[in-house]
Structure 1
Amino acid sequence: MTPQMTRRRVATQLWRQLPFFVWLVALWMLLWGQFTVTAFVTGVVAAVFVTRIFRLPPVELSGRVNLWWGLVFVVEFALALIRGSILVALQVLDFRRLPGTAIIAVPLRTDDDLIMTHTGVTASLIPGSLIVDTDRDRRILYLHIIGVSSDRDVEKQRESVLHWEERIVRAVGSRAQVARIRAAREGGAS
């Protein structure tokens, strides 16, 4: 391998890791609650330390961001947070009955670690559900959910997780992933 090819390969790897690096710096600044030059510089040092010491495989991004679907995701997520908070509060304050619980398995339709992670985090952040396990090889998320009293409630929760997967894929997934989601949705509707 020539030195030029080596430099090009290193540059490509650095470019692919740039979004992760920027995210680490932003996360550092958010954790400290400061948006100062000092926080930025120490965030860069921390990000370099993390990326050099803890060697992770490069995250393959689709290179596609759909701002419209990203906005739809953010708005729906904010509404789901409010709705989930109210429903959980009502269930806790209703002393006449205990809210039903279940652990469900949700097989995802896409084969991507990043999409699976985003879907799991989204499902866990909405009050009323929590990821308890994942099966990375089979692409299954296992959730503990509250507020279920029938099989229909369980199916609604499963559909909700698949809905979040679809929103995330439409916002940041590749064209092939969007096509796969669309095909799965159309196949399930028939």
Structure 2
Amino acid sequence: MSLHPRRASLRNQWPTVLWLTVVWVLLWGEISLGNLVNGALLGVLVTAGLRMTPIDFHGRVRPGALAVLVGRFLLDLVRASFEVSLVALRPRHTPRGAVICVQLRSHSDLYLTLTSELVSLVPGSLIVEAHRLTGRLYVHVLDVRTSGGVEAARRAVLAQEERILRALASDAELADAGLALGGAGRSRAAEVTR
């Protein structure tokens, strides 16, 4: 006897309900029975009421590469915050902004989204448009001069994508993206610099 597909999908949504409950409690800033119950009810309501497109994840989490991804992201966040504050505080300086097109290696919606989010969270860069079918990102760079030029900004986006792929992609997805397994060999990001 098979379950109704909608009920079966609700049964598989418990991690999402749990995460939404945690976010709800964090937003209220207090752990109480009422906040936990309301967060859980809201989580069930959101997962049952809103149809979300499933995202296929065929990769695996590599803890070492994930630590590199998080560490480098935090470093980029601090460095870019400092650079943007210098641009903002420099008298009579007009930043030379640009919108650049970056062709990503992976064609997965998940990796495109993660790359877009991490690039946008770093001050001084913002995703203007993401083409899902072509795997292209259009990135606005606040000041091309402080970023090291257009090609340096493009390489930074590709390096961010590479760190995401190395942290989360399967071996087959890494090979499809042209990245050597385990970081050995030359990646396509290195080839772009030549």
TM-score, shorter chain, exceeding 0.5:
yes
Q: Please tell me the residue identity of whatever aligns with 1:185.
A: S
Root mean square deviation, CA, Å: 2.8
Q: 1:16, 1:58 within 8 Å by CA — same for their partners in 2?
A: no
* Alpha-carbon distance, 1:64 to partner: 1.5
- C-alpha deviations, 1:98-152, integer Å up to 9, x for none? 1110011111111111111111110010000011111111111111111114996
Match of 1:66 in 2: 62
Match of 2:23 in 1: 27
Match of 2:40 in 1: 44
Moved more, 8-17 or 160-169: 8-17
Partners of 1:86 and 1:146 in 2: CA distance: 13
The 3-state SS of whatever aligns with 2:95 is coil
Partners of 1:107 and 1:80 in 2: CA distance: 21
2:104 pairs, out of 104, 108, 128, with: 108
* Alpha-carbon distance, 1:158 to partner: 1.1
Partners of 1:8 and 1:52 in 2: CA distance: 13
Runs of 4+ more than 6 Å apart = 8-12
Aligned residues: 186
Q: 2:124, 2:143 within 8 Å by CA — same for their partners in 1?
A: yes
Q: Is there any run of 5+ residues in structure 1 with no aligned partner, and where?
A: none
Q: Is there any run of 5+ residues in structure 2 with no aligned partner, and where?
A: 181-185
Match of 2:139 in 1: 143
Higher helix proportion (structure 1 or 2): 1
| 1:129-168 map, 5 Å | 129-149=125-145, 153-168=149-164
The 3-state SS of whatever aligns with 1:100 is coil
Judged with a 3 Å threshold, the aligned counterparts in structure 2 of structure 1 residues 150 and 24 are, in CA distance, closer, same or farther, namely closer
TM-score with structure 1 setting the length: 0.83
Judged with a 3 Å threshold, the aligned counterparts in structure 2 of structure 1 residues 41 and 151 are, in CA distance, closer, same or farther, namely closer
Partners of 1:143 and 1:58 in 2: CA distance: 26
TM-score with structure 2 setting the length: 0.82
